[in-house]
Amino acid sequence: MEHNLHDIASQFELKQTVESIQILGEGFINDTFVIKTLGDKTPNFILQKKNNYVFKDIPAMMHNIEKVSNHIKLKASILGGDPLRQTLTIIPTKEGNLYYNDNQGNYWVVYLFIEDTTSFVVATTPELAFKGGQGIGLFQSMMADFHEPLTDILPGFHNIRFRFNQWDNVLKKDPVSRKVHVHHEISWIEARRKEMMGFWELVESGKIPKRVTHNDTKISNILFDNRGNFPCVIDLDTVLYSTALNDFGDAIRSYTNTGAEDDKNLDNVEIAMTFFEAYTRGYLSQAMSFLSEIELEYLAFSARYITFEQVLRFFMDYIDGDNYYKIKSPGHNLQRTHAQYKLLTSMEANYPAMCNIVQKIVHELNEK
C-alpha cells in the first residue's frame, strides 16, 4: 500500500524543510525511511512505520523506548558523553505524541538521524566482534540501575517453558501430517528438554536476576562512528525485563556462526571460537561491574540455550505448516532447523572451552 510520506512526516515536530524521503534498509519487520532536510548543517531524521502485526501494543512499546532512551541520555550526560549520539531521540508529533496513527491504522514514528555512523550486517573480524560485545555490555551496564516498569510487548519471548507448551500443542495437532517423517529431529528436542527447563527455572525463581535487555543483539543494531567506536545501540522495539544472558547468547548465535542460518551445506556450520572469545572479552569489559556469580557461571551456556530455542522454533514452525517464518521452499524451515542444530552441536562440543574462556577473562578483569 502506498503512503504519502511527506504528509506523514508533516505530522511531526520537524522545524526543518523536508527535501526528500527515501527508503532505508531492507525492512524485515518495520518499514524505515530517511528524511533529508534542506541545509548542510540541519539534522536529518528517521521515519519508521512500525509493524503492528508483530507488535500488538505499539503505544506501550514507544513508552518503553522513551523510558529507556531517556535513562541512557541521563547516564551519558553524567559520564560526559553525547546524549544525542548514544541512544535514540524520539521526535514527537505536533500534538506531543510519541507516534502518529494514520487513518488506516498504521503507526509511524520519527527519530533523530545519527550522522557520521555506519552499521554492519555481520561481524567480519574478531575486532568487530569485540566492539559489538562492548556495545551490548555498555547498553546493559547503563540500564543496570533502571527500575521503572516496562510493558512486556512480547509475552513468552525467550521463555522456554512457553515455547515447550507451544511445541507440545503443535506435536499433538500435527496439522499437516509432517511429524511421521521427522522422528529423529523430534528426539533432538526431547533429549534437551530437562536441561533447558532447568536453566529457565533459575530465571523463574529469581536466582538468575531479570534486567533490562535489548533482545535483538545482532551487530546491525549497533551504530559505529567513523573511528570504529560504537556510539549507539538502536532498534529498541524489543526492550523488556529478562535475563541479561539472553542478549549474550543471542549475540553469540549470530556473531560466531561460520555458516548461514539456513546453510544447505552443514559442513560450513560451526562456532568460531576466536569470535566467541572476542565478543565475550568485549562484553565483559563493560558488564563485569553488574553481573552476579551465577550469571557468569551460565554465560557460556546461554549461547546453547538461545540456539536450542531457535532450533525448536524453526522446527515447530515446520511441523505447524510454516505459518510464522517466511520460507523460500516447502522444506526451508527444516533446512533452518538442521543448520541451527549443527551450530548447537558445535557449541556443545566446544562448551568446556567456552567456559574456560569465560573464566579466563573474568580472572584477568578481576586482576586489573
318 and 250 housed in the same domain: yes
Predicted pLDDT at 28: 59
Predicted pLDDT at 26: 62
Q: Is 261 exposed, middle or buried (0-12, 13-18, 19+ CB in 10 A)?
A: middle
92 and 200 housed in the same domain: no
98 and 165 housed in the same domain: no
Contact 8, 100 (CB under 8 A): yes
137 and 91 housed in the same domain: no
What kind and span of H or E run contains 111? strand 107-112
- For residue 82, give Cα distances in angstroms to 72, 86, 219, 223: 10, 6, 21, 14
The cell numbers describing 67, all together, are: 523510558
Q: Rounded to 10 degrees, what is the CA torsion of 223, 229, 232, 237?
A: 50
139 and 92 housed in the same domain: no
pLDDT in tens, 99-118: 999 999 999 999 999 999 99
Count of CB atoms within 10 A of residue 255's CB?
24
Nearest to 246, CA basis, from 225, 285, 215: 215
Nearest to 167, CA basis, from 327, 320, 366: 320
Average pLDDT, the chain: 94
* Helices first, then strands: H and E counts in the chain: 12, 11
Residue 146 within a domain? yes
296 and 206 housed in the same domain: yes
Number of folded domains that form the chain: 2
pLDDT in tens, 172-229: 999 999 999 999 999 999 999 999 999 999 999 999 999 999 999 999 999 998 888 8
Residue 172 within a domain? yes
pLDDT in tens, 8-21: 999 999 989 999 99
Q: Which of 53, 81, 115 is the last residue of a domain?
A: 115
197 and 240 housed in the same domain: yes
d(CA 80, CA 177): 60
92 and 131 housed in the same domain: no
Contact 150, 67 (CB under 8 A): yes
Range of the domain at 233: 126-367
Residue count (the chain): 368
What CATH number is attached to the domain comprising 131? 3.90.1200.10
324 and 274 housed in the same domain: yes
pLDDT grade, residue 3 (50/70/90)? Answer: confident
What kind and span of H or E run contains 214? none
Residue 120 within a domain? no
Complete DSSP assignment for 18-79: EEEEEE-S--SSSEEEEEEESSSSS--EEEEEE-TTT-S-HHHHHHHHHHHHHHHHHHHHHT
d(CA 368, CA 199): 31
Q: What is the mean pLDDT of residues 309-327?
A: 94
Residue 291 within a domain? yes
Q: What are phi and psi of 139, to 5 degrees?
A: -55, -50
CA atoms within 13 A on the CB side of 175: 12
The 3-state DSSP class for residue 34 equals: strand
End-to-end CA distance of the chain: 57
Q: Characterize the bridge pairing of strands 211-213 and 18-23.
A: unpaired
What CATH number is attached to the domain comprising 32? 3.30.200.20
190 and 325 housed in the same domain: yes
Residue 54 within a domain? yes
Q: What are phi and psi of 50, to 5 degrees?
A: -75, 145
Residue 362 within a domain? yes
Q: Rounded to 10 degrees, what is the CA torsion of 142, 143, 147, 152?
A: 170
Q: Which of 81, 115, 149 is the last residue of a domain?
A: 115
The least confident of 26-40, 51-65, 328-342 is 26-40
pLDDT in tens, 39-97: 878 899 999 999 888 888 999 999 999 999 999 999 999 989 999 999 999 999 999 99
Q: Which amino acid is at 145?
A: D
Residue 121 within a domain? no
90 and 170 housed in the same domain: no
Q: What is the mean pLDDT of residues 298-311?
A: 98
The 3-state DSSP class for residue 355 equals: helix
64 and 144 housed in the same domain: no
Residue 184 within a domain? yes
